[in-house]
Amino acid sequence: MSKKTKIVLAVLGAVVLAFVAMGFIRRKDKDVARVTTAKVEKIDLVAKVTANGKIQARRKVDLSALVMGQIVNLAVKEGDRVQKSQLLLQIDRAQLAAQTAGRASALAAMRSDLLAGRATTEQARFDYERAKRNWEAKILSEAEYQKTKSAYDTAQANLSAIQQRLEESGANLAASRDSLSKTTVSAPIAGVITYLPVKEGEVTVIGTMNNPGTQLLTVSDMSEVEAVMMVDETSVPEVKIGQKANLNIDAYPNRPFEGIVTEVGSSPIAKNDPDLLSLTQGSEAINFKVKIRVVNPPDTIRPGFSVTADILTGRKEGATAIPIQALVVRDVPKKDGKPVTSAAGRPQTEEGVYLVKNQKLAFEKVETGLAGELMIEVKKGPRVGAEIVTGPFKVLRQVKEGDKVIVEKEGAKKGRTPTAA
């Protein structure tokens, strides 16, 4: 066998041995978990709560019918700007005007009756006093004296009744005049007609306990606009009055607006909430209403515009932070072979991260702080620069301290060789 042939055979043998060794290593590492890692770093951390909602006027008035009648003059249309006390619509006033005139005449008649009653009472008083003197002088019988006394008492009673009827008649007239005044509907505030469901010629109906009255229109003061947001129950404790917000209104793409939180709801949003009706009916979650004043709203803004808000709930510069997905919650290790439980009998848990030391996982507890969108602050835990396990999510939930792992560098799944820690 020639020397060249021997060299070729030796090379082929080395290649075969290399492939056999690689196959053995792969079979050996087949059941070893592969993880990705990241380093603890210092960043400027911003915490925010994202919510959806609708644009509404900060001041708006929904006007409903207070009297029944036909709309004979509709002086505005939807979108019109109106001034305070400007005529909006007129309801037919003929019947109420006639009723008012009748009650005014009745009141005038009662005043005449009052004058007559006073005169009758005064005459009865004179007759009674004269009869009393004559009776005391023994020149008038007791029967005649009692008769004049009874006439005087009757006249006083009649006068009191007339006075009460006069007051009743005056009250009825005031009620008629009030109802008559309500046939003319004027703007309670300056603003824009943002809702006008009625038409001229329709008949208005007064609301009852079970049936709402006819809603005439809505006047909104669009100079002060707010975003009414739905915030999830898990996020609402972080939202405070005075916090700033970044608003994105769908009607104005690529044009962000500033906002300030002015109100945080104390009770969950009802399904029939008029401000968020289209959003609440499709949601089964518990949400709370948060109002955000829009700074410098455009003149063309309208109630009902869809809006998304990022409420800035916290900020910390130079915070020690880790990726949120690296955070692991596990049961506290057993003591003396017994699980550690709370006063309620439930297993106690602790937060922490996994570090890779000598190709094995080591668990280190952490105390978290401000949570950003992708990162979370670490108050106590691994130092800046430490390498921690970030995933995959499924692996993180299955591994435990002491397990052997292989750290996959970025791109390892595309054919690169993984490296052991």
Please give the CATH architecture assigned to the domain spanning 51-58+220-316.
Answer: Beta Barrel (2.40)
Give the largest CA-CA distance in the chain. Answer: 179
Q: Find tokens 């606009």 and name the residue.
A: 225
- Which string of b and e fits 303-329 if b means at least 16 CB within 10 Å? bebebebbbebbebeebbbbbebbbbe
Per-residue pLDDT of the chain (421 residues; tens, 9 = 90+): 555 555 545 556 555 565 545 554 455 555 788 888 899 999 999 999 999 999 999 999 999 999 999 999 999 999 899 999 999 999 999 999 999 999 999 999 999 999 999 999 999 999 999 999 999 888 889 899 899 999 999 999 999 999 999 999 999 999 999 999 999 999 999 999 999 999 999 999 987 767 778 899 999 998 899 999 999 998 899 999 999 999 999 999 989 999 999 999 989 888 777 777 667 666 667 889 999 999 999 988 989 899 999 999 988 899 999 999 989 888 888 887 778 787 777 888 888 999 988 888 889 999 998 888 888 999 998 999 888 998 888 888 888 888 888 888 754 444 444 444 4
Angle at 314 between CA 312 and CA 318, to 5 degrees: 125
Domain 32-46+318-414 classification at class level:
mainly beta
Strands 215-232 and 191-195, by their bridges, are antiparallel
pLDDT at 4: 55
This model's pTM is above 0.85: no
Enter the tokens of residue 16.
């075969």
